[in-house]
Structure 1
Amino acid sequence: MNLLIKSAKIIDRHSPFHLKTQDILIENGKITEISSTIKNINNIKEIELENLHISVGWFDTSVSFGEPGFEERENLPNGLNVAAKSGFTAVAVNPNTYPVIDNKSAVEFLINKAKGNIVNLYPIANLTQQASGQEIAELFDMSNSGAIAFSDYNKSISNANLMKIALLYAQNFDGLVMSFPQNNSLSNNGVANEGAMSTKLGLKGIPTVAEELQIARDLFLLEYTGGKLHIPTISTEKSVKLIAEAKKKGLNVTCSVSAHHLFLNDSELNEFDTNYKVKPPLREKTDLNALKKGIVNGTIDMITSDHNPIDIENKKVEFENAKNGTIGMESFFGAINKVLPLEKTIDCITNSPRMRFKIENPTIAKGEIANITLFNPDTEYVFGEENIFSTSKNSAFIGKQLKGKVYGIFANNKFVIN
């Protein structure tokens, strides 16, 4: 496909055109020219949009789609369509399906189902068989089939010896082990952050130490075993400090934070709206501020939507009985762009996650394959149901003032524009 993008400000610190406003010519899916002015001599499709910015295509490292098994929440075709409309050219899909993704056939099913799509899908496979936390799954076989990391999504590994063995074994093929940061005995079926708000509302609390103790354990194990560890969706001030200290020691650890933990705090629970019931729970303002500082200073490596569609039957119930999760791709850029510097935001959803998950990292330069996201970072709007493309509508951002509009993406020689 051929495309001429006019007057776009390039946000890509690896590009020689970083922070410059240029025309970009794409021919047969490849960038063939970048210049201050390019004449459209062949009368190809031209894109000229208000305050147009472009970056390398965004990569979301934690997305749930439901298929197979929970298609009423979301299926793969529509989920990938939502990703494209939300600015993502690649997504890492969680294994919280039925059956779970704990063998090579399940990994290959996801990859084959997504073939030919404008958005690249990368499976995260289960770390343990049946996501039970008891026996390690077929990690090497699943890695060979295309799994980019191993995690029992939103389920912590209580057995420290199992985590130790996983970190040791994965080194044989440079595998990335992920560990959800929650100590189950301390969380004890809580439903909200343990603090003033949970006490006021009479909700069973999950203390911050439940997250921090698990992280401390896993960092001790990593120091003992070596290997690579990724801690997804941290949520507390102390967690940021623990990971910063581990990095200073030279441990091979990375972490992510969700958009909703950067934008929302536990004061949102005042009306018992189950869309705010997420895992980890929304924390206090001091934690939120520490997470934002962790992004800016580089302690936190990446930001994810942690997109998790939940059907209405599992959300429109009492708060204690509702399933955890919020959709987040549609609101993602508008939320994080509202609270973080633009260049840092873009780096946390392009270069940093691709490097960690060993995915080819494109750049915006002549001769490169075009993999780009088009957006306007200055558009302000109130997020509403009309902005939701997902099958499930469980968004924690409805009614929130956001900043930043996605225009579309170009990837795999295809173009989608909103």
Structure 2
Amino acid sequence: MNILLKSAAIVDSTSKHHLKKRDILIENGTIKKIAASIVNTKQVKEVSLLNLHVSQGWFDSSVSFGEPGFEERETINNGLKTAAYSGFAHVAVNANTFPVTDSKGNIKFLKSKAEGNAVSLYPIGALTMGSKGVDLAELFDMKNEGALSFYDYKKPIENANLLKIALQYAQNFDGLVQSFPYEKSVSRNGMVNEELNSTLLGLKGIPSLAEELQITRDLYLLEYTGGKLHIPTISTKKAVALIKEAKKKGLNVTCSVAVSNLFLTDDALESFDTNYKLLPPLRTSEDTKALLKGLKEGTIDGVTSDHDPIDIERKKTEFDHADFGSIGLESCFGALNKVSGFETAVAALTGLKKVFGVKPAPIEEGKNANITLFNPEINWTFSEKDIISSSKNAALLHCKLKGKAYGIYANKKLAVNG
């Protein structure tokens, strides 16, 4: 599709047009011309939207869809539609399916289901067979088939030697290993952050120590083995400090934070709403401030929606029995932009591309057009009518947000909501 974006403010620090308002002509998936004004002589489709801003296509490093096995939660087709309308041109899809994505055949299935879509889907392969934490999965074969990294979603690798072997083995093919920062023996049956609120509400706590012990162990292993380690969704002040120190030492470690941990604190738990039952749990305002500071200074490499659809039967139940997880794609930019500002938000939603090996697409003439369209100034309240996902378990429901995505132009397709 050929299109002409009119009066678009370009937000791309790698482009000479950064923070300038320009018309952008795209032909056959390539940016043909960028200028202050372009006359539509070829009668291509014009896109003119209120306070239009554009950036390189956003990338989400942690998205769950359900299919195969849990299609009632989210199908790949509807999940990619949700991602597109939420401004994400690239999504890395977790291995928490049935069967678990632990072989090249599973990787091939996910890629084939996403063919012809505006959004690029990148499968994440399980680190261990069945994500059971016992034997390494077919890492090399999955990498060759297109797996972006290896991660047992939300499941810590309890066996330190197994993680050591994974880090050593993955170096042979430049593989990226992820390790969830959660020491289960310390957490036991914890459900929320272990602090004042957990005591007042009578809910079993997950101490910050559980995260920090695991990160400390994993960083020692990385120092011993070398290789590349990504620590997904950190949530504590001490975790930021540990990773900052490791980077100073020259370790090849990166990390992300879930947008919910930047926007909400455990004060939200007073309602006993199971949508706030998340892993990692919502922490204190002190943690939230440290995470935001870590993001702005570059210790945290990027932000994820940590989109995790859960069917209603597993959420509309007692807090003790409810599953962890929240959808997050639709509200991600509005929440992040509100707490960080749009330049930081865009950097955070594109920063993990380099970590995961997703090619950048600068907004320059002659470059591939992979663009997110958004309005950073609109104030709105996230409600059920804004949910595109099949599941409705949204932690940010009824929150006041700032900024909203219009959609994307990617893979020669325009996907704009409305």
TM beyond 0.5: yes
Alignment gaps of 5+ in structure 1: none
Structure 2 counterpart SS, 1:17: coil
Could you tell me how far apart the structure 2 residues matched to 1:146 and 1:43 are? 38
Q: How does 1:176-325 map to 2 (within 5 A)?
A: 176-325=176-325
Residue equivalent to 1:17: 17
* Aligned-pair CA distance for 1:360: 1.1
Could you tell me how far apart the structure 2 residues matched to 1:303 and 1:105 are? 29
* Aligned-pair CA distance for 1:408: 1.6
Could you tell me how far apart the structure 2 residues matched to 1:47 and 1:98 are? 40
TM-score normalised over the length of structure 2: 0.99
Instruction: Name the % identity.
Output: 60
Could you tell me how far apart the structure 1 residues matched to 2:153 and 2:54 are? 32
Could you tell me how far apart the structure 2 residues matched to 1:335 and 1:42 are? 39
Could you tell me how far apart the structure 1 residues matched to 2:332 and 2:349 are? 11
Residue equivalent to 1:369: 368
Q: Which amino acid aligns with 1:359?
A: V
User: Which string of whole-angstrom CA distances, capped at 9 and with x for unpartnered residues, describes residues 226-260 of structure 1?
Assistant: 00000000000000000000000000000000010
Structure 2 counterpart SS, 1:320: coil
* Aligned-pair CA distance for 1:49: 1.4
Alignment gaps of 5+ in structure 2: none
Structure 1 counterpart SS, 2:77: helix
Q: Which amino acid aligns with 1:253?
A: V
The answer to whether the aligner puts 1:112 opposite 2:143 as a matched pair is no
* Aligned-pair CA distance for 1:16: 1.1
Residue equivalent to 1:412: 411
Could you tell me how far apart the structure 2 residues matched to 1:108 and 1:376 are? 36
* Aligned-pair CA distance for 1:407: 1.3
Structure 1 counterpart SS, 2:255: strand
Structure 1 counterpart SS, 2:365: coil
Q: Which amino acid aligns with 1:284?
A: T
Residue equivalent to 2:3: 3
Could you tell me how far apart the structure 1 residues matched to 2:146 and 2:235 are? 29
Q: Which amino acid aligns with 2:394?
A: S
Could you tell me how far apart the structure 2 residues matched to 1:87 and 1:403 are? 14
User: Which string of whole-angstrom CA distances, capped at 9 and with x for unpartnered residues, describes residues 64-114 of structure 1?
Assistant: 000000001001000000001100011000000011001110011001111
Q: Which amino acid aligns with 2:320?
A: E
The answer to whether the aligner puts 1:141 opposite 2:141 as a matched pair is yes
* Aligned-pair CA distance for 1:264: 0.3
Q: How does 1:32-47 map to 2 (within 5 A)?
A: 32-47=32-47
Structure 2 counterpart SS, 1:321: coil
Q: Which amino acid aligns with 1:373?
A: T
Could you tell me how far apart the structure 2 residues matched to 1:232 and 1:409 are? 25
Q: How does 1:393-404 map to 2 (within 5 A)?
A: 393-404=392-403
Could you tell me how far apart the structure 2 residues matched to 1:150 and 1:272 are? 34
Could you tell me how far apart the structure 2 residues matched to 1:82 and 1:42 are? 32
Residue equivalent to 1:131: 131
* Aligned-pair CA distance for 1:63: 0.2
Residue equivalent to 1:336: 336
The answer to whether the aligner puts 1:97 opposite 2:75 as a matched pair is no
Structure 2 counterpart SS, 1:8: strand
Structure 1 counterpart SS, 2:308: coil
User: Which string of whole-angstrom CA distances, capped at 9 and with x for unpartnered residues, describes residues 119-145 of structure 1?
Assistant: 000001100011111111110001001
User: Which string of whole-angstrom CA distances, capped at 9 and with x for unpartnered residues, describes residues 345-384 of structure 1?
Assistant: 111211x211111111111000011100111100001110
Could you tell me how far apart the structure 1 residues matched to 2:236 and 2:404 are? 29
Could you tell me how far apart the structure 2 residues matched to 1:416 and 1:165 are? 42
The answer to whether the aligner puts 1:386 opposite 2:381 as a matched pair is no
Could you tell me how far apart the structure 2 residues matched to 1:26 and 1:106 are? 35
Structure 1 counterpart SS, 2:281: coil
Structure 2 counterpart SS, 1:270: helix
Could you tell me how far apart the structure 1 residues matched to 2:303 and 2:323 are? 22
Structural RMSD (CA)? 0.6
Could you tell me how far apart the structure 2 residues matched to 1:316 and 1:85 are? 27
Q: How does 1:148-187 map to 2 (within 5 A)?
A: 148-187=148-187
Could you tell me how far apart the structure 1 residues matched to 2:406 and 2:32 are? 22
Could you tell me how far apart the structure 1 residues matched to 2:129 and 2:187 are? 23
Structure 2 counterpart SS, 1:406: strand
TM-score normalised over the length of structure 1: 0.99
* Aligned-pair CA distance for 1:341: 2.5
Could you tell me how far apart the structure 2 residues matched to 1:14 and 1:186 are? 44
Structure 1 counterpart SS, 2:89: strand
